[in-house]
Structure 1
């Protein structure tokens, strides 16, 4: 087992290839994985062995399949995987090279995706990867749309601009840890009024309803939930016509603004995403892993929620950036605590 690049209490960073480091971690040692691998053909991080610059679509998918095969082994049986992936287009008509007005962080030579599909095609990469992982045994539970209200404008005239990315929730088995109450949203005033009426004028009280489970009727929603799921998502059915006293299910469209990071890592997702994923998908005092740690946004969310963190990053400068952000966050939350 390699030595950590840096560790301090609940946070640990490893420098290296995600698949290689995951292969060295003990089986079942993390409770939740929240990650966003490099997207296909969009960024050149200038690191040997970087992901996202594979020559073909199939090669990129195979790389992620092998990586998440190791991730599946490391994840606890009742753990959850939250995978954020953005899409990209096949190369434009001038070949595989970028145009003069492209972002300088984009690769000079793009992967030869046009060998697989004609130019200007949306590759559908998130779904290609999701289906490949599904074939490997992952259970695909949700396809969440991350809507970006402040998405960057795009200078395109023959299609509408892209304002979303995908977040897939995947698990290893049918029963897993999921705390829906932790991410419920407040009811609107109109919805709250409806809830009071349907609950017999007792806002905040237990909702009692009848349901059928394995040939038996259960009358108390809280008892059912506690017995079978812990603080987990309730089964579906007509009983959801009654508003839950703790708030509404946030649904599978998350409207979350991007947050520019004035540092070397230019593709960090907003902390709101890992905060929500960890709150719902990681048991209290559990361990969160991000195999593509980048600027350690997932680590900051894990620390806020009192979870341990294991991060893997192939770029040493990004490891240094991640360490600096974790230390700074720790200093802000506990000014008298030594940085370590």
Structure 2
């Protein structure tokens, strides 16, 4: 190898170090535009769901007036995610569904979930009826596919301890989707690392598309967080030790905590400074220092 390539390798290494173990307080729509191409190995994230939470932040994702605006915003963000992924990188996207508001313009909070309270409710989307299941996960997944992503797998996160619902005209929802999307036709996926026990319990088999993972409340947050076990499956399958894992909706920092515990680095972006502080506190237990940029 010619020695004149070494400066390039060193420069690339230094550039990647700039994006290791960083928590950025910013809007992902702006922050991602500052990241160079092909920086991250993978992304795992759970964006705010449409019309379900009010985080009292200007420009927050999920507060759009229509589902089309919501999907358009997310497609634009994940287009930047795709640009910043390496060519063999993947995206794990956790997203849940919701129902039309049925004409209700607000929703009261409750003791277990203060963030459930909302001063606004989006009107029933065009073409849908009151009480309709919107089908948001698949609307988003197909929009991402149309935008250039390879849609590789629809995984069901089955929550055996799901929240009860006071409904008597349909089953209680106990699942969400975790979509696997890739930047290219061929991509990094370590199937060996996420094999699961076979039915007889004596052997292991390729992971199936239904993942039974219990929800785990996080004491420091008053909003939904996805459990570490769910994120661990994604990170093990989509990255190697030393890789950088992106989460553009960092929230309470679960992606960062799991990344560090598995020998990976993280790059998290969070709009809400209050949530970023919660993430910082959690991350202090997994590393000596957390660098936050505003």
Is the Cα contact below 8 Å between 2:115 and 2:222 reproduced in 1? no
After TM superposition, the structure 1 = structure 2 runs for residues 278-297 of structure 1, keeping only pairs within 5 Å, are 278-297=235-254
Is the Cα contact below 8 Å between 1:15 and 1:316 reproduced in 2? yes
Q: List per-residue Cα deviations over 1:105-159 (Å, max 9, x = no partner).
A: 2322112234442110000001000000000010000000000000011000111
Which ranges of 4 or more aligned residues in structure 1 deviate by more than 4 Å? 7-10, 99-104, 188-192, 337-340
- What displacement does 1:100 show? 8.1
* Distance in 2 of aligned mates of 1:8 and 1:73: 17
> What is the DSSP-based 3-state SS (H/G/I as helix, E as strand, rest coil) of the residue aligned with 2:129?
coil
Which of 99, 102, 109 is the aligned partner of 1:92? 102
After TM superposition, the structure 1 = structure 2 runs for residues 227-306 of structure 1, keeping only pairs within 5 Å, are 247-306=204-263
> What is the DSSP-based 3-state SS (H/G/I as helix, E as strand, rest coil) of the residue aligned with 2:22?
strand
Is the Cα contact below 8 Å between 1:265 and 1:318 reproduced in 2? no
- What displacement does 1:264 show? 2.7
TM-score (normalizing by structure 2)? 0.87
* Distance in 1 of aligned mates of 2:108 and 2:250: 30
Q: List per-residue Cα deviations over 1:222-258 (Å, max 9, x = no partner).
A: xxxxxxxxxxxxxxxxxxxxxxxxx211200000000
Confirm or deny that 1:311 pairs with 2:268.
yes
> What is the DSSP-based 3-state SS (H/G/I as helix, E as strand, rest coil) of the residue aligned with 1:328?
coil
Is the Cα contact below 8 Å between 2:109 and 2:115 reproduced in 1? no
* Distance in 1 of aligned mates of 2:41 and 2:286: 23
Q: List per-residue Cα deviations over 1:68-99 (Å, max 9, x = no partner).
A: 11111001110010000011100124x33226
- 1:183 and 1:115, CA in 2 relative to 1: closer, same or farther beyond 3 A? same
Confirm or deny that 1:29 pairs with 2:33.
no
> What is the DSSP-based 3-state SS (H/G/I as helix, E as strand, rest coil) of the residue aligned with 1:113?
coil
* Distance in 2 of aligned mates of 1:288 and 1:147: 24
- 1:73 and 1:8, CA in 2 relative to 1: closer, same or farther beyond 3 A? closer
- Which protein shows a greater Rg? 1
- 1:262 and 1:124, CA in 2 relative to 1: closer, same or farther beyond 3 A? same
Is the Cα contact below 8 Å between 2:194 and 2:237 reproduced in 1? yes
Is the Cα contact below 8 Å between 1:287 and 1:307 reproduced in 2? yes
Confirm or deny that 1:322 pairs with 2:279.
yes
TM-score (normalizing by structure 1)? 0.76
- What displacement does 1:284 show? 2.8
- What displacement does 1:47 show? 1.0
- 1:8 and 1:29, CA in 2 relative to 1: closer, same or farther beyond 3 A? closer
- What displacement does 1:172 show? 1.1
* Distance in 1 of aligned mates of 2:98 and 2:160: 19
* Distance in 2 of aligned mates of 1:318 and 1:92: 31
* Distance in 1 of aligned mates of 2:129 and 2:42: 38
Which of 18, 23, 27 is the aligned partner of 1:13? 23
Corresponding residue of 1:180? 191
> What is the DSSP-based 3-state SS (H/G/I as helix, E as strand, rest coil) of the residue aligned with 1:162?
coil
Which of 108, 129, 136 is the aligned partner of 2:147? 136
* Distance in 2 of aligned mates of 1:149 and 1:20: 38
Long gaps (5+) in structure 2: 1-16
Corresponding residue of 1:120? 131
Confirm or deny that 1:167 pairs with 2:183.
no
Is the Cα contact below 8 Å between 1:31 and 1:80 reproduced in 2? yes
- 1:293 and 1:77, CA in 2 relative to 1: closer, same or farther beyond 3 A? same
* Distance in 2 of aligned mates of 1:147 and 1:314: 29
- What displacement does 1:101 show? 7.0
* Distance in 1 of aligned mates of 2:241 and 2:163: 36
Aligned length: 273
Is the Cα contact below 8 Å between 2:19 and 2:267 reproduced in 1? no
Q: List per-residue Cα deviations over 1:139-194 (Å, max 9, x = no partner).
A: 000000000000011000111100000000000111100000001123454764xx
Is the Cα contact below 8 Å between 1:28 and 1:74 reproduced in 2? yes
